[in-house]
Chain A
């Protein structure tokens, strides 16, 4: 196992470099921060040439990649063009914690909700419960986030109010003005009320998917012979389901969970847009649309690294939970 791990980790390096190189190349083709500037009558060609040189855009592309890669490795992630004066690192590191908060809550919430629901759905196959859960899953998966988010805001912010007159849940945002300098706990509690709606909206989609998966995996397991053996041994039905069936159904689910882990960092652009959350999803979208090359590149690189690591983690986790899988 150790040799396997070492080998895989070493393999990560060329994969990451290769992926970032390709991303860099493609992004360079489409992302031109100077295109918009040329339109501005107040900005002269001399200004653009000067800025190009200052930001290092006047080198040929392969040199530019190495220059960029070298500085990233050292820790200099470049300036943010969306926010002149801020470095790409500052901009990303102020969006990242927010996305992590939202997405980890969503992650945990959806997993805790969908695994039991999926198992119940499978155990009660074709019953009313199963049908309702299936309906709910499809509803969740097909509901567009921007519409559902808006509906939630209308219900919980416009219609429903607290006794003091303010909306029951705040319509978007992540913080109440005045809480910037508060202590950690009150600030987090304040943050919590802002996250309720976006987490529910985001989870809706995931829960739909996870429930279907869990149901399917569980059903497969429920028809296995070893359950019959277990019953033949005289075990209680509870033990048969929880110890024998469930444990086997978890194997593919855990792998899927590990693979969706990178989502925690990439955020969800539309939900962030609708709920006015300054997270990674919205940031990356803005960076790509407005040609903030350094920020977009860093975000892409981060995603790449995470996806690669998550894949490795998934494989490792898989081998831990399924004794039939052993690596050499």
Chain B
């Protein structure tokens, strides 16, 4: 027994030795770190430098937490600190005999770690992300600066969870030139969560190779058109918004997948944090926005609540050629509580109320407005010299040729990495390509069609192509009160019978079909349709079970009501794309005994047949709102069925009537003003029920590819949209090491 124990002990000790000896890294990498893993480049780099190692089984286990002593060792190796073995231990709980003693002491000597107030270090506790930030900031020599920061600028939905001693460090940690920590998909910074191995690797890499130390300091982006002006109030062009996105800051920002986050405001109003109050009796919403202090316009003047109120006044002025006043026309009261607190009362239950109002510099535009509001329309601010408070400033503008933005070194989020960003405007596709081939273009968003994107992916190895998801899809609406589609088995059979992946790719507008009633990649998305993989056998079984029997010569099925399963699919006249889809689906449905045919129709008549319920099946396109999923889900309620009695109001043209669906949609609506984290469970449930009921069929999910030169970091490409791609522009930088 003793002998066994001794062997085990020796083995254990030997194994722990192995655990810290660097393993040779093959180019193949780790089994659990795929090529698309977010921290792959950083992990590989650190492994190659011996800062971290993988496990003997070929894994890296990127998601496991890291203990404080493990991190001490990481930082020592990374910074090249010599192991230090003083006679007296600095911390009560890290004794000389401990394996990490030499590293902990070295790190303490370097000033990176200070331990707890009670003199302990807590070596085997998991290091939290905010502790990681603090340590990282110390390693970068910015501790003094961090101590001087009293107000957090972390732009996270859980900013209030940051401990006071970590405020400065967290603020510095997310700055563009530091980049120690990243936000998660719901824009939380998770200060108290344990930092994973991947997150530590990422942070250590950023300490060794801070963003911007490698590579060039500019980006040349390709656009199809230039901005109309620099004032989104009078220009509804997406390219104007794109230009202003480089330059402006907002109270509440929105990620492309639809997640709001506090930008200049300290928090996004919700019922959870008390900054939003809903009064269902009076149908009003009250929102309060607290401004971060120290935010300045690019000319140095502070941003205050006055600027928000002024923005509202300009929007509602009828002498300014405002393109749209929505949703400001729903505001019943707007006032400032103090210079940094803004109160808005809305006259409807508006989900967009949490985004607040925009900000315009009152000290510049105010005097013009007071003289004559109509002068604003052609002010210099609008056409030549915009003053905003964001990360970039307008440097040069040659209309319809290029716009050059230079960084705002005083940006409230920290100094951006890139010195300049150039938007080059080229309208002709062939000329765009010629320029890409000639060199001189680094990126472009939603410019290429799918087949061109495939060509770029094949022929230009220096460019990466991202097949972003778009916000539109084809939808086959079914009338659930019709004989044909009242049986859910029939509807499910359709999903099994149509190979939606092939359909999407053959029609060449996307790479994948819709996988839920919400678009892939949006914040509340849950994949509920992958269960309906292409399976004609299953489809046939379901149809058999539903009583749709084959006719005598096995060419088509007969429905229980005796009619042939033969349908004309109406779509808008001239919609050649829909025509293509019907053609592609014909053989697929023929296999399960359903005949379909083309039925081009006047679009208004088509919509009318849906409203009146006179249709059986239709095909057209549909668009989605990433931010507000409720809009698409409202139609699923039975109360939304248009009837003669209610004057044909309502969008539930499919006439879905499922009490469970009603229950969860109602809950989702009622939770509309909570924080996004809290709304997820109801929204997931709705999607699951939807996948069970399948009241309509989704076809393709449109893709709008981006292309980006290899090495450009932080380009947001998870979701398509001209106006979305540059929202992370302050954080863009070049690093070809991490790919």
Do A and B come into direct contact in the complex, CB within 8 Å? yes
Bound Cα distance A42, B241 (Å): 15
Query: Which one of A83, A84, A86, A275 has the highest number of Cβ atoms from chain B below 10 Å of its Cβ?
Result: A84
Neighbouring B residues of A146 by C-beta, 8 Å? 428, 430
Given contacts A47-B323, A276-B401, contact A84 B434 (CB under 8 A): no
B396 interface residue per 8 A CB criterion? yes
Q: State whether A275 and B228 are in contact (beta carbons under 8 Å apart), knowing that A94-B399, A158-B438, A172-B426 are contacts in the complex.
A: no
- The answer to the question of B365 belonging to the interface, with a C-beta cut-off of 8 Å to chain A, is no
CB distance from A76 to the nearest CB of B (A): 12
Which of B101-109, B152-160, B230-238, B585-593 lies on the face that meets chain A? B230-238
Name B379's closest neighbour in chain A (CB-CB): A85
As a 0/1 sequence over residues 76 to 108 of chain A, the CB contacts with chain B under 8 angstroms (1 = contact) are 000100111111001000100000000000000
Q: Are B379 and A40 in contact (CB under 8 A)?
A: no
Segment touching B, from A174-182, A213-221, A257-265: A174-182
How many A residues are at the interface, by size bracket? 35 or more
Q: Is the CB of B431 within 8 A of A177?
A: no
Can you name the residue of chain B whose Cβ is closest to the Cβ of A168?
A: B438
A144 to chain B, nearest CB (A): 12
Within the assembled complex, what's the spacing in Å between the Cα atoms of A124 and B437? 44
A29 at the interface (CB under 8 A from B): no
Residues of B within 8 A of A47 (CB): 322-325
Residues of B contacting A167 with CB < 8 Å? 438-439
Q: Which of A109-157 contact B (CB under 8 A)?
A: 146, 150, 153-154, 157
* Residues of B with C-beta under 8 A to A274: 428, 430-431
List residues of chain A with CB within 8 A of the CB of B404: 177
Q: How far is the CB of A46 from chain B (nearest CB, A)?
A: 8
A276→B426 contact, CB < 8 A: yes
Of the candidates A44, A153, A178, A282, the one whose C-beta lies within 8 Å of that of B324 is A44
Q: In the assembly, what is the distance between CA of A90 and CA of B236, in Å?
A: 20
Q: Does A192 contact B (CB under 8 A)?
A: no
Q: In the assembled complex, which residues on chain A have CB atoms less than 8 Å from the CB atom of B273?
A: none
- Within residues 177 to 213 of chain A, which ones have a CB less than 8 A from any CB in chain B? 177-178, 180
With a cutoff of 8 Å between Cβ atoms, the chain A residues found around residue B236 in the complex are: 37, 40, 42-43
User: Does A50 sit within 8 A of B, measured CB to CB?
Assistant: yes
Alpha-carbon separation in the docked complex, A242 to B234 (Å): 62
CA distance A19 to B110 in the complex (A): 84
What A residues does B399 contact at CB under 8 A? Answer: 83, 94, 278
Q: At the interface, yes or no: B266 with Cβ under 8 Å from chain A?
A: no
Give a binary string over A38-71; 1 marks a CB under 8 Å from any B CB, 0 the rest: 0010111011001100110000000000000000
Of A50, A157, A180, which is within 8 A of B434 by CB? A157
Q: Mark B368-383, 1 if CB is under 8 A from A, else 0.
A: 0000000001110011
Q: Is B469 an interface residue (CB 8 A)?
A: no
User: A42 contacts B434, CB within 8 Å?
Assistant: no
From residue 391 to 432 of chain B, which have CB atoms closer than 8 A to chain A? 396, 398-402, 404, 422, 424-428, 430-431
In whole Å, how far is B228's beta carbon from the nearest beta carbon of chain A? 5
Set of chain B residues within 8 Å of A50, measured between Cβ atoms: 318
Which of chain A's residues have a CB closer than 8 A to the CB of B439?
Answer: 165-167
Contacts A43-B236, A84-B229, A177-B396: A171 and B325 contacting too (C-beta < 8 A)?
no
In the assembled complex, the CB of A270 is this many whole angstroms from the nearest CB of chain B, namely 9
The answer to whether B383 and A85 touch across the interface, beta carbons within 8 angstroms, is yes
In Å, the complex CA distance between A172 and B318 comes to: 41
B377 touches A85 (CB 8 A): yes
- Is B670 engaged at the interface, CB distance under 8 Å to the other chain? no
Q: B435 touches which one: A46, A172, A175 (CB < 8 A)?
A: A172
Are B434 and A150 in contact, with the CB atoms below 8 A?
yes
Q: Taking CB as reference atom, which chain B residue is nearest A169?
A: B438
CA distance A87 to B329 in the complex (A): 28
- What residues of chain B lie closer than 8 Å to A84, measured between beta carbons? 228-229, 231, 234-235, 321, 323, 377, 382
Asked if residues B378 and A174 are in contact (CB atoms below 8 Å), the reply is no
A residues adjacent to B (C-beta < 8 A): 37, 40, 42-44, 46-47, 50-51, 54-55, 79, 82-87, 90, 94, 146, 150, 153-154, 157-158, 165-167, 171-175, 177-178, 180, 273-276, 278, 282
Question: What are 17 pairs between A and B in contact, CB < 8 Å?
Answer: A42-B326, A43-B236, A44-B326, A46-B325, A47-B325, A79-B377, A85-B234, A85-B235, A85-B379, A86-B378, A94-B399, A175-B401, A177-B398, A180-B396, A274-B431, A276-B401, A278-B399
Q: Please list the residues of chain B having a beta carbon within 8 angstroms of any beta carbon in chain A.
A: 228-229, 231, 234-236, 318-319, 321-326, 329, 377-379, 382-383, 396, 398-402, 404, 422, 424-428, 430-431, 434-435, 437-440
- Other A-B contacts than A173-B426, A275-B431, 15 sampled, CB-CB below 8 A, are A37-B323, A42-B326, A47-B324, A50-B318, A51-B321, A79-B378, A83-B399, A85-B234, A85-B235, A85-B382, A86-B378, A172-B428, A180-B396, A274-B428, A282-B427
